[in-house]
């Protein structure tokens, strides 16, 4: 097994609010892991610690076998240069796409490889073409974000993250801001990535998607992983009262709609 990511005893507090209270997780290459939990349970904080948008209070993030940061007497030191390099290896897709409005789609996708990875123009263009094709939007390369639907914009945001050729992709409620009829195309893109072997950590409330796509489902509560296992175990036969209550609140779930275009 190639372990892409390991999270060891991760704690994160904001002042006296303890959000993460000892998270351990091992993610193998090609794993698709869905993270569930009530609002405020720390799902976003967990993803943000993995790409160091938040600095862990304690514990360790290990990427491709190498612990991030340097252990010092008073804790772990995280040099900014190391974190910048690390963030380029961890792709992230958010609820709000934040495309650059003054750049066309292709320029949006080229921007990371150009400015962060210092790729040459030909390589930036190659990546933009490859990853826009992958999300089915090669034909929109010259369009501006305002000319796209929300679902198309989110797929561009996915292509933009993929263009960095990351080792793992994090999705934080990537479909939550979309109109219901646009959710399916984004989930379909995410499913294709999973099928191709991309390593992914996904926060979503789309339980049908979790059921069909996840290798493993984690349920977060009180800053810990309350329950985890394959989708059948966690979503159909939950053991913990907290998981059961969460699932009661979500009612029955449907499998993703077919994409028929």
Site string for ligand ADP, 6-45 (x = CB under 6 A): --------x--x-x-----------------x-xxxxxxx
Rounded to a whole number of angstroms, the minimum distance from the CB of residue 44 to ligand ADP is 3
Q: Is 139 in the site for ligand ADP (CB under 6 A)?
A: no
Compute the least distance from the CB of residue 60 to ligand ADP, in Å.
Answer: 19
Beta carbon of residue 220, minimum distance to ligand ADP (angstroms, whole number): 7
Closer by beta carbon to ligand ADP, 173 or else 185 = 173
Q: Which is nearer to ligand ADP, 159 or 202 (CB)?
A: 202
Q: Pattern 42-71, binding to ligand ADP, x per CB under 6 A?
A: xxxx--------------------------
Neighbours of 25 (CB within 10 A): 20
Per DSSP bridges, beta strands 17-28 and 224-229 are unpaired
- Of 42 and 112, the one with the shorter C-beta distance to ligand ADP is 42
The verdict on 204 binding ligand ADP (CB under 6 A) reads: no
Q: CA-to-CA distance for 154 and 160, rounded, in angstroms?
A: 10
Interface with Mg ion in residues 23-52 (CB under 5 A) = 43-44
Q: Is position 106 an interface residue for ligand ADP (rule: CB under 6 A)?
A: no
Tell whether residue 204 is a contact of Mg ion (CB under 5 A).
no
Size of the site for ligand ADP (CB under 6 A): 11
Residues that bind ligand ADP (CB under 6 A): 14, 17, 19, 37, 39-45
């Amino acid at each position: 097994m190639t372990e892409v990511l390991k999270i060891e005893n991760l704690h994160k507090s904001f002042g006296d609010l303890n959000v993460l209270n000892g998270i351990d997780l091992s993610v193998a290459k090609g794993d698709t892991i869905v993270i569930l939990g009530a609002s405020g349970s720390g799902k976003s904080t967990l993803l943000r610690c993995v790409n160091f948008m938040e600095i862990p209070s304690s514990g360790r993030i290990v990427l491709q076998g190498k612990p991030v940061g340097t252990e010092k007497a008073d804790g772990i030191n995280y040099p900014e240069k190391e974190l910048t390099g690390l963030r380029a290896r961890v792709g992230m897709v958010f609820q709000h796409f934040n495309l650059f409005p003054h750049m066309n789609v292709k320029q949006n996708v080229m921007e990371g490889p150009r400015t962060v990875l210092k790729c040459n123009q030909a390589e930036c263009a190659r990546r933009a073409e490859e990853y826009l094709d992958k999300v089915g939007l090669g034909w929109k390369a010259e369009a501006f974000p305002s000319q796209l639907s929300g679902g198309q914009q989110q797929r561009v945001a996915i292509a933009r993250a993929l263009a960095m050729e990351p080792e793992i992709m994090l999705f934080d409620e990537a479909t939550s801001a979309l109109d219901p009829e646009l959710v399916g195309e984004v989930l379909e893109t995410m499913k294709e990535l999973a099928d191709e072997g991309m390593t992914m950590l996904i926060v979503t409330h789309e339980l049908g998607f979790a059921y069909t796509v996840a290798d493993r489902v984690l349920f977060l509560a009180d800053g810990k992983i309350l329950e985890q296992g394959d989708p059948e175990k966690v979503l159909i036969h939950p053991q913990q009262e907290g998981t059961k209550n969460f699932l009661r609140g979500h009612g029955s779930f449907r499998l993703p709609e077919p994409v028929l275009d």
